[in-house]
Amino acid sequence: MGFFPCSRNSLLLLFTTIFLVTSSTAVSGSNHFQDFDITWGEGRGKILENGELLTLSLDNYSGSGFQSKKEFLFGKIDMQLKLVPGNSAGTVTAFYLSSGGLNHDEIDFEFLGNLSGEPYTVHTNVYAQGKGEREQQFHLWFDPTADFHTYSVLWNPQTIVFSVDNTPLREFKNLEKLGVPFPKTQPMKLYSSIWNADQWATRGGLIKTDWTQAPFVASYRNFNADACVVSDAPGAAYCTSSLADTTPWESQKLDILSEEKLKWVQRNYMIYNYCNDADRFPQGFPLECYA
């Protein structure tokens, strides 16, 4: 592997013009102590089993959250999650990349709880330069509370793909040529949190959180980031070269099989698409909806 030190400004310029086609760095998730900081929750977030397991919990006093120690500028991010079991109505577990700030970029998974036996709602969104309103929602074809499943974000200059167990749910392509902003210049950290949102999360707020079921616990393991990492050193950043990788995330896109899986998911499990919500956009749909 080669090492490429450079200034942050130089790195951003490089990625937005020619992009480092041969650069990637694998960040192992074998130890959550090394990868994440518990940022809030007064002990409700825990790293257990010698760093191999992370849990976040919510009770009627507080939720909890964590963030990655590193920032990423493009990459393939994977984490195994087991969502809150039982009656999780009113709770939201978020798993997202964000740059922070007023004009931030963000790539969101949010998991909206429900009554026992009812499906979770998987809420997705993409923000670019502070603008979101690109929501798509799905149900899943399995029980996400019974076991761990791998939730992934592929983010490169061409596309953003949301996947579960290597099955794509959603793709947001780079359509800058049509005037659609695309996240590409702001490094992002990975965040996750669990909190009470019973004013809107389950059936529009009709079903409230049953605090007799607390604590509500979400579990995380096997984090992996194959990505370009912005260094902790002021003004510096680095990528590593991995020429042996025959399917680098830098140029990865959906193949024919993945396209068919995406169509299957959207045909059978999509429950909301902003591009079909005419009442919300009386002046016309966002430009990407016509692509």
- Measure the CA–CA gap between 63 and 115, rounded to whole angstroms: 19
Instruction: Please say if 118 is a catalytic residue.
Output: no
What is the token pair recorded at 229? 């990492």
Three-state SS at 265: helix
- Contact present, 140 and 269 (Cβ < 8 Å): yes
Tokens of 182: 């695309």
* Dist CA 268 CA 263 (whole Å): 8
Residue 75 and residue 226 in contact, taking contact as beta carbons nearer than 8 Å:
yes
Q: Is 106 a catalytic residue?
A: yes
Which of 38, 181, 198, 52 is closest to 112 using CA atoms?
198
Active-site option among 49, 52, 71, 106: 106
Q: How many CB atoms lie within 10 A of CB 123?
A: 19
Are the beta carbons of 91 and 248 closer than 8 angstroms?
A: no
Q: Which of 42, 49, 110, 259 is catalytic?
A: 110
User: Any idea which residues carry the catalytic annotation?
Assistant: 106, 110
